[in-house]
Amino acid sequence: MDVEGFGRYGRINPNKIRIRRGMYEALERAFAAAQVPWNACQYADLGDGVLVLVPAYLPKTPFVDQLPGALAEELAAHNDGHPPAERMRLRLALHAGEVTYDDYGVTGSSILHAQRLLDAPALKRALANSSAVLAVIASSWFYEEVVRQSERSRADTYRPADLAGEEVSVVAWIRLLAARRRALTRSRRARAS
């Protein structure tokens, strides 16, 4: 995932540090809400985003059932408490596949595919032309095998995007999420109890 417009000229380094801190805090809280153990995952910081590697033994459905909504709520909470230069919107790519490890980290066609999905102009346009705080793009495989197979994923809110010529699969699936503030408030009160 990455932050939309992270390097835009109006943001100075202290803004970027607070955005990065907010991004990681939002991720950790959203993972907890989705009951995905953050500490079981590996991640690589990308400067303006993060690559999260989830162990194969963990189920994939929380990444479409609970994580997007929880992350959108956390982003909205962050944005409510920060000035415009420190507000953020995220792009999130969902894909699964083999990963190859070497002395420097990870690589492989599945990682490159996820990065290309994340950089797809169709995803960037979808987020830019909306008021959403989160844009999710799922690979064709992830959509067919995880999103569409879950009763709670809201598969009907994903829209196909033709990415031909963008070095990725011909079709991916995009979903835009705005936050449900009431749900976040209830969630935070419940955690405080």
Question: What pLDDT score does 172 carry?
Answer: 85
Asked whether the predicted pLDDT for residue 190 surpasses 80, the reply is no
Look at residues 137, 150, 132 and name the one whose alpha carbon lies nearest to residue 61.
Answer: 150
- Cα 27 to Cα 123, 160, 161, 188, distances in angstroms: 20, 26, 26, 15
Half-sphere exposure of 180 toward its Cβ, with a 13 Å CA cutoff? 8
Tokens of 4: 């939309």
What is the total count of domains within the chain? 1
**Distance from C-alpha of 154 to C-alpha of 158, rounded to nearest angstrom:** 8
Q: Which of 44-58, 127-141, 178-192 has the lowest mean pLDDT?
A: 178-192
All residues at 6 or more sequence positions from 190 whose CB lies less than 8 Å from its CB, including other chains:
none
**What are the pLDDT digits (tens) for 165-184?**
655 556 788 889 887 665 45
What percentage of the chain has pLDDT greater than the value 70?
90
**What are the pLDDT digits (tens) for 103-154?**
998 999 999 999 999 999 999 999 999 999 999 999 999 999 999 999 999 9
Burial of 72 from C-beta contacts in 10 A (0-12 / 13-18 / 19+): buried
Question: What pLDDT score does 163 carry?
Answer: 84
Look at residues 180, 63, 59 and name the one whose alpha carbon lies nearest to residue 114.
Answer: 63
The phi-psi region of residue 53 (left if phi > 0; otherwise alpha if psi is between -120 and 50; otherwise beta) is: beta
Q: Which domain holds residue 145?
A: 2-192
**Distance from C-alpha of 52 to C-alpha of 139, rounded to nearest angstrom:** 16
Provide mean pLDDT across the span 188-192. 51
**What are the pLDDT digits (tens) for 66-95?**
999 999 999 999 999 999 999 999 999 999
Q: What is the CATH number of the domain that holds 26?
A: 3.30.70.1230
All residues at 6 or more sequence positions from 101 whose CB lies less than 8 Å from its CB, including other chains:
none
Question: What pLDDT score does 107 carry?
Answer: 92
Question: What pLDDT score does 171 carry?
Answer: 78
Question: What pLDDT score does 185 carry?
Answer: 53
Question: What pLDDT score does 95 carry?
Answer: 96
Question: What pLDDT score does 63 carry?
Answer: 96
